[in-house]
Amino acid sequence: MDQTGRRRKVTIEIGADDLLVVVDMQHDFLPGGSLAVPGGDEIVPLINQLGKRFTNVVFTQDWHPADHLSFASQHPGKAPFDTVELAYGTQVLWPDHCVWATHGAQLSVDIDIPHGQLVLRKGFRREIDSYSAFQEADRQTLTGLAGYLNEREVGRLYVVGLATDFCVAWTAIDGAAAGYDVTVIEDATRAIDSNGSLKRAWTDMAEAGVERIMSREILG
């Protein structure tokens, strides 16, 4: 409170070394899509507003071949949200989604951030999933994003998009591991929340030093 009894507003200044990462805002993750994240469409206007505050914006795009091993359809007898053991460990199985060159894989036409600079595709190898925009699920294959951010002299990442508990969380955690300050803008994300995944993701993000804010702290 200030002296007049009003709550003082402290807004975060977005600067030249800040970058907004807009994660997987694709038709398949939005209502009507094959892996629709509940409320995914509700964050579109907020992401567009946030996008206007940043000069640096990167999009990620989940981008799978039709026979990707994260699809339940590739594992006889398995259903979406079951798990299997792949070469690198336990993999959650999904409905077919974001198959490259399909409509569902396209970034939402309602995302209006024309000054965005990079679309980073991930998950394009049949055998390896990639929730993180930094490294694939084998924890070895790099996507090249850290090199890009390094050359662009970025200091802090702000992460929004879908889904909080998978691609947003893994991107945020790996961004922190790569040496960036990372902030997730909570109300500009929505979760799948399967088997406690959302609660676990926030715990993991906090442990990795990822900050968690609401959009009003930037937008005022």
Active site positions, annotated: 24, 122, 167
Selection from ligand VGL, Zn ion, none that 167 binds (CB < 5 to 8 A by kind) is ligand VGL
Q: Give CA–CA dist 76/60, Å, rounded.
A: 30
Instruction: DSSP letter for 194, please.
Output: -
Among 163, 176, 198, 201, binds ligand VGL (CB under 6 A): 163
Q: Which is nearer to Zn ion, 75 or 212 (CB)?
A: 75
Residue 62 sits in the site that holds ligand VGL (CB under 6 A) = yes
36, 120, 162, 173: which one binds ligand VGL (CB under 6 A): 162
Pairing mode of beta strands 181-190, 156-162: parallel
Q: How far is CA 95 from the centre of its chain?
A: 18
In sign, the C-alpha dihedral spanning 62, 63, 68, 73 is positive
| Minimum gap (Å) between residue 41 Cβ and ligand VGL | 15
Measured from the CB atom, the residue of 14 and 92 that comes closer to ligand VGL is: 92
> Rule CB under 6 A: which residues touch ligand VGL?
24, 29, 62, 94, 131, 162-163, 166-167
> Rule CB under 5 A: which residues touch Zn ion?
62
